Structure 1
Amino acid sequence: MAWDLDLFYIIRNWGVADRTPFTDLLKIVERTVRSEHQRSPNRPIYLVGESLGACLALAVAALNPDIDLVLILANPATSFRRSSLQLLTPLLEALPNPLSPGLPNILRSTEGESLRMLLDNVVQGLPLQNTAGELVKDFTAFSLSLPVLADILPKETLVWKLKMLKSASAYAHSRLYAIKAQTLILCSGNDQLLPSQQEGERLLKLLPKSKCQLRKFDDSGHFLFLEDSIDLVTIIKGTSYYRRGKYHDYASDFIPPTLDEAKNIIESNSLFNLIASAVMLSTLEDGTLVKGLAGIPSEGPVLFVGYHMLLGLEKIPLVSRIFLERNILLRGVAHPMMFMRSKNGRLPDLSSFDKFRVMGAVPVAPTNLFKLFSSKSHVLLYPGGMREALHRKGEEYKLFWPEQSEFVRMAARFGAKIVPFGAVGEDDLGEVVFDYDDLVKIPYFRSEIESLTNEATQLRSDAGGEVANQPVHMPLILPKVPGRFYYYFGKPLEMEGRKQELRDRKKAHEIYLQVKSEVERCIAYLKVKRESDPYRGIGPRLLYQATHGFESEVPTFEI
């Protein structure tokens, strides 16, 4: 795997004839971990374990709390004692030895009540008939998994493996209190062997909250890493678990998405992109307005500064089109609540934002902006932040920017180009009918808003005006027959060679107001011109695509 993980162990199933006790396996892995730690004491060690391997990884972490470990646990077998698997051991011991050569084929074609009848016949006359008979009542769930096990493992090995699972589960479970490692739990919703999702929730409560995250895969089975739809590297990148040092750095530890990763994420938004059918205009260096993205600077650093539409919906077509048409990845500067939580509450689960992190989003902070400019990135910034994205009724296309410049001098320091842009179309998709001012009048919703706002990281608490008013809430939006999104990228403002000049706060503020005025001009232009777009409504667009092909670009107004 051509990906720079400091140490990457895949701890999975051991050999069929292997009888190494769990404690000996633990010593083997522990020795390797300590050796690697001595060689690179300032770098994390990754332990990836599935099922039994997850117990092994937990045990190593419990015994080595002073070593910087990152645990990736898939369907951990710490849930063994609450699974029906524990019923298998006495049943298998009661079966004839060796098992009938035809048993795998019989089991493969036998399900549900037929399996129960078969097993009832098998246990007749055995010394443990009563015990085995009771076990059969809970055995139907294994009608799909037992044939596979019977094909792969002889009876003695299968019994030994189950006993190993039991001891590994007990060993790891008794030492959970000692674990300090950063942990990512991956659990399947369709695991037929273990209650993995319930176990994931349980471990999330027992392990250090600030270092533990959970991701659920509702349609996946027990052997998560064998499924084609599961890419472990993408998961680690999306959860921000890849780091080179003691802490994850959202800028310098970022690994750009592969072409497949980016296309999969963009494809997941294909319906919305189809509905939005974005029209994009850009401005060439000579000031000429053109259709398309030819005016977007190819070389960074570039700072895109624009208006945040309702719920931030404009980001989806914006990032998608610029990546697909110009092969440029926009690194969004986003609210910190998309990356971390101070406590558990009712905010959307962090997994909702994994795709944004894979595509390079970073928490808003001067240090992150500095690092992005240093790496010559294309950066996306919304000065209006949450206040614009969660605006009130009648505030469509109104900018809520801070009074003082937040980005001009930083852009000048690195010679970045600033591209002001406007976007319209939110009022073509829906209308706010119940906003913050309405919600706070109702005691229940007022309490909910206060709770959510308190849970989210607070920004601009020292700022004045409306931009500092960022309560977390969800306005009630009445959907409309979909219209269309429009984007207008103004002429890039060159900051190269202006570092000394813009150290003067007054001059920097003049540039800031110029950028803001340009964004407002772009919005005003689009609001007027879209009225002459014959394909503004979704009906004419669908008719056009039905006759010209759904991959064809839908025309718009003349410029």
Structure 2
Amino acid sequence: MATSVFASLPSSVASVPKPKPSSRRLPTSMALASGTEPTAFRISSELKTRTKLTEGGKPLPPPTLQQDGKVFDETVVEPRGLLDFIEQSRELVRHDGGPPRWITPIDCSAPHHTNLPSLFYLPGIDGVGMGLVRHHQRLGKIFDVWCLHIPVMDRTPFKGLVEYVESTIKSESHCLPNMPVYLVGESLGACIALAVAARNPNIDFVLILANSATCFSKSNIQYLSSFLDVIPEPMHIAIPYFLDLLTGENLRISSTFAVDQVSITQVFSGLFESLNKMLPSLFFLAEILPKESLQWKLQLLKSASSYVDPRLHTVKAQTLLLASGKDQLFPSSEEARRLCKILPKCRVRYFNNSSHNLFLEESFDIVNVMKGSCYYRRSSYKDYVSDYLPPTPYEFQKISEQYRWINIATSPVMLSTLESGQIVKGLSGIPSEGPVLLVGYHMLMGFEAGPLVIRFLNEKNIHLRAVAHPFLFNRDSEMLMLDSSAYDGMRTMGVVPVSGTTLYKLLSRKSFVLLYPGGAREALHKKGEEYKLFWPEQAEFVRMASRFGATIVPFGAVGEDDIFEVLIDYNDLRKIPFYDLLDKRLNQKDVRVRANSAEEVGNQDLYLPGLLPKIPGRFYYLFGKPIETKGIKNVYQDRGEAQKIYMHVKSEVENCISYLKEKREHDPFRNLLPRLLYQVSRGFTEEAPTFEL
């Protein structure tokens, strides 16, 4: 006989029946107390773990996402917002007094027959469990999603909640030991996640925590309980701090209004519209947080903070902190900086214009944040190839806008070479099918890479996977940046850290790979070293390319000297007192490339050069004649033959650079002013002409 969803189960987790590891955990559709069937979620009174999918007694590897050959993630996502959160949550908000339970949203249509990592959502003080409603559809494609629901009248203490979640996690980890367990928590839920991770250091967790309540003792909300006794119900919901909890808006007039610029009618009209938008939230807030429950939740927050804080040093899990800059409940940005110093595997993303309830804000996309921060993986280690999620068209558009000023200022000219050797405008000389390895020269600061990747997607519908310096992926390096999310756009577009293994995997999937053998040594060259190649003496990529019959396309790019002039290079910086301290932090062992090489290319010291901006000139790219490796015999086994091809590729890159440097002198639109006049006269719909070929 099935157990009722609302059966009186003890709040002590110790008495909850242990799941059987031999059975696949599936949600059971069950009727609500009112006799109506839920439309937005399924409820399970007893979670069962998933079957261990095995082959020959060994666990199956994570499935390959069906993304090979796809340029974009074309998943159609139905827009959701605050009203959807309220509508779907009403089915759950009942004063039943039942224990906490797990729910799975129906629109998280994860393919349960495959091994996807589990994501457990732990709510804030609302306890409803539908806080990720805007993200359910996208999360359901890459996770097995479960949400914790804490009923309105439930009085399970903090430790009981931790034990309840812990029991489920242990069963899940036992069933799928080679997969990470994702805990996504906000406010109170962040404390639960940290507590579970602290108590289970041997489980592979990925924590994604928004506006953690670990700073409860530093927040103004701690003084609220003393006022609740004298405030009649439901007037307690009008406290401004709690408006921020659901709406992300406060009872304030938009800063765009100024008394000397608008009439008093406009001011009151704007105020009325704001209040009208908030009314559904206020009434619903009264349902999920009656005064008695609110008093209990405040005590729960205090217990959570005091329980977790002394245990933070034991948390070894990979953690991503999301901090809102306009959080009126907690000093979230300050707390994120504190936690980042304590947690050894922690990174932070700041959202300066966001309020407390970050997950419900229209501008926030949790899947996009996971992509940019490289926090999505399906095994015990991050595989930058098989775990990669293609960008959506909207993500690509946002990233393209970041390079818009470079495209306007430099108006890139791209030329390619046909099989016959003829140089033509555009990218028609680029092969249409992979595997293809584009090998070229890295301009100053790598300014040429962004426009190159964007143009290939727009013109050829080809997604270039760039091989980049490990500095772009290192935690300590990120902490040195003014903006911790500076490289998120590049990682969203598929940049991977340089390694032979990564190159092998990309070519085996017939990808288009962008490779710079000179790496940081070229991109951070010293004064007087413009357009000089710093390649290793020995071939590094030819034998790998020949193994998969990849086509090698050499290319050159010029224009850096028309953008900036290097005033202070590495040699100058080393003369500055105490610079060696920063130098050691920038060039630590984890970010060294070819550290054991005695060649100059092995001396890839990272630094920030002093640059003098110039009136922008123009960028020029020339892709040489494709070099086929498929028909060449013995390249993979014969190192001598591979070296010949390697030197040929290098020579072609140098020839491309020389050609462009000579021909650009005859470009009538090389200078900015005539180029802008041409484009303005045509509404920026046409690219300015260039030299004759």
Verify same fold: TM over 0.5.
Answer: yes
Counterpart in the other structure of 1:8: 119
Counterpart in the other structure of 1:59: 195
Distance of aligned partners of 1:145 and 1:195 in 2 relative to their CA distance in 1, 3 Å threshold: farther
Q: Tell me by how many angstroms 1:187 deviates.
A: 0.8
Distance of aligned partners of 1:423 and 1:3 in 2 relative to their CA distance in 1, 3 Å threshold: farther
Greater alpha carbon shift after TM alignment, 18-27 vs 419-428: 18-27
SS of residue paired to 1:183: strand
Counterpart in the other structure of 1:359: 493
Q: Tell me by how many angstroms 1:56 deviates.
A: 1.4
Matched, 1:335 2:446: no
1:98 to 192, 213, 233: 233
What is the alpha-carbon distance in structure 2 between the residues aligned to residue 101 and residue 409 of structure 1?
A: 71
Counterpart in the other structure of 2:214: 78
1:309 to 437, 443, 453: 443
SS of residue paired to 1:185: strand
Distance of aligned partners of 1:397 and 1:510 in 2 relative to their CA distance in 1, 3 Å threshold: same
Counterpart in the other structure of 2:336: 200
Query: Alpha-carbon deviations, 1:19-76, whole Å to 9, x = none?
Result: 2323333333223222222322221111101111111111222222222211110111
Contact preservation (8 Å) 2:544, 2:636: no
Contact preservation (8 Å) 1:43, 1:245: yes
What is the alpha-carbon distance in structure 1 between the residues aligned to residue 278 and residue 214 of structure 2?
A: 19
2:523 to 386, 389, 402: 389
**Gapped runs of 5+ residues in structure 1?**
113-143
Counterpart in the other structure of 1:88: 224
1:294 to 421, 428, 442: 428
Runs of 4+ displaced beyond 4 Å: 1-5, 99-105, 107-112, 144-151, 341-345, 347-350
Counterpart in the other structure of 1:481: 615
Query: Alpha-carbon deviations, 1:179-205, whole Å to 9, x = none?
Result: 232211111111111000111111112
Counterpart in the other structure of 1:18: 153
Q: Tell me by how many angstroms 1:371 deviates.
A: 0.9
Q: Tell me by how many angstroms 1:260 deviates.
A: 1.9
Distance of aligned partners of 1:387 and 1:463 in 2 relative to their CA distance in 1, 3 Å threshold: same
Q: Tell me by how many angstroms 1:235 deviates.
A: 0.9
Q: Tell me by how many angstroms 1:347 deviates.
A: 5.9
Q: Which has the higher contact order (CA 8 A, sep 6+)?
A: 1
Contact preservation (8 Å) 1:308, 1:384: yes
What is the alpha-carbon distance in structure 2 between the residues aligned to residue 167 and residue 452 of structure 1?
A: 41
Instruction: Supply the AA of the counterpart residue of 1:265.
Output: I
What is the alpha-carbon distance in structure 2 between the residues aligned to residue 347 and residue 196 of structure 1?
A: 20
Query: Alpha-carbon deviations, 1:202-241, whole Å to 9, x = none?
Result: 111222x1x2211111111111111121111111111111
Distance of aligned partners of 1:290 and 1:145 in 2 relative to their CA distance in 1, 3 Å threshold: same
Q: Tell me by how many angstroms 1:475 deviates.
A: 1.7
Instruction: Supply the AA of the counterpart residue of 1:421.
Output: F
Instruction: Supply the AA of the counterpart residue of 1:53.
Output: G
Instruction: Supply the AA of the counterpart residue of 2:495.
Output: A
What is the alpha-carbon distance in structure 2 between the residues aligned to residue 179 and residue 436 of structure 1?
A: 39
Matched, 1:48 2:181: no
What is the alpha-carbon distance in structure 2 between the residues aligned to residue 44 and residue 454 of structure 1?
A: 28
Contact preservation (8 Å) 2:471, 2:477: no
Counterpart in the other structure of 1:273: 407
Counterpart in the other structure of 2:630: 496
Matched, 1:375 2:488: no
How many pairs align? 524
Q: Tell me by how many angstroms 1:551 deviates.
A: 3.0
Q: Tell me by how many angstroms 1:448 deviates.
A: 3.5
SS of residue paired to 1:174: helix
Matched, 1:407 2:541: yes
Contact preservation (8 Å) 2:478, 2:484: no
Counterpart in the other structure of 1:152: 285
Distance of aligned partners of 1:237 and 1:2 in 2 relative to their CA distance in 1, 3 Å threshold: farther
Instruction: Supply the AA of the counterpart residue of 2:285.
Output: I
SS of residue paired to 1:352: coil
Q: Which has the larger helix fraction?
A: 1
Query: Alpha-carbon deviations, 1:107-128, whole Å to 9, x = none?
Result: 999779xxxxxxxxxxxxxxxx
Query: Alpha-carbon deviations, 1:455-510, whole Å to 9, x = none?
Result: 66222223233212222222211111111101000111001133524421111111
Instruction: Supply the AA of the counterpart residue of 1:33.
Output: I
Greater alpha carbon shift after TM alignment, 514-523 vs 452-461: 452-461
What is the alpha-carbon distance in structure 1 between the residues aligned to residue 641 and residue 353 of structure 2?
A: 57
Matched, 1:507 2:644: no
Contact preservation (8 Å) 1:483, 1:536: yes
1:175 to 305, 308, 311: 311
Greater alpha carbon shift after TM alignment, 389-398 vs 35-44: 35-44
Instruction: Supply the AA of the counterpart residue of 1:245.
Output: S
Query: Alpha-carbon deviations, 1:400-448, whole Å to 9, x = none?
Result: 1111111011100110000000000001111112222222233344553
SS of residue paired to 2:587: helix
**Gapped runs of 5+ residues in structure 2?**
1-107, 129-150, 244-249, 254-276
SS of residue paired to 1:172: helix
Matched, 1:529 2:642: no
Contact preservation (8 Å) 1:104, 1:151: no
Q: Tell me by how many angstroms 1:150 deviates.
A: 7.8
Please list, as runs of the form range in 1=range in 2, the aligned pairs for 1:440-455 lying within 5 A after superposition.
Answer: 440-454=574-588
Distance of aligned partners of 1:484 and 1:8 in 2 relative to their CA distance in 1, 3 Å threshold: same
Instruction: Supply the AA of the counterpart residue of 2:598.
Output: G
